[in-house]
Structure formats: C-alpha cells, structure tokens
Amino acid sequence: MSEEVQEVPFHIVVDKVLEHEDGGATYTFEMNQKATEAMCQYGLQLVMVCAAYGVDIQDAFDSVRNLGTKDE
C-alpha cells in the first residue's frame, strides 16, 4: 500500500516584518506557486468587482475592516 502525498493547497508564511518609525511595516511573504496564482486571481477579481460597481478599492478594504474585528 503506497502513501499518497497530499499537497497543501496554499502555503503562505510571513517571512520577515520590518517595522518603520512612522508606525507602518513592510512584510515579506513566502508562498508556494498555487498561493501565488490564487493571490493574483483574487487581487484581479477584487479590482474587476470594484470597477464593475464603481467602488474605490480603498473603500472596499475599509468596508471589510469595518465588518470584522481586529485581534490585538
């Protein structure tokens, strides 16, 4: 009986975080090919949906932030 190797669909890891004096940060991610392709697809989908409905992308992000809660 052979064992099947099950590939993880998406592998995304925060590799580095560089905090800036202004309070912002730069993140570096490690991800597999499937995750890279999915992130591109989701990003393009977000842009297209926002364009179709006349919503500014920043407004869409702000709306998502307002819907959820932030774990601190």
Q: What is the DSSP string of 6-24?
A: ---S--EEEEEEEE-TTS-
pLDDT per position as a tens digit, 28-65: 999 999 999 999 999 999 999 999 999 999 999 999 99
Confidence of residue 9 (pLDDT cuts 50, 70, 90): confident
Question: What pLDDT, on a 0 to 100 scale, did the predictor assign at position 52?
Answer: 98
pLDDT at 69: 75
pLDDT of residue 1: 41
pTM of the model: 0.66
| Every domain of the chain and the residues it spans | 12-67
Left, alpha or beta for 34 (phi > 0: left; psi -120 to 50: alpha)? Answer: alpha
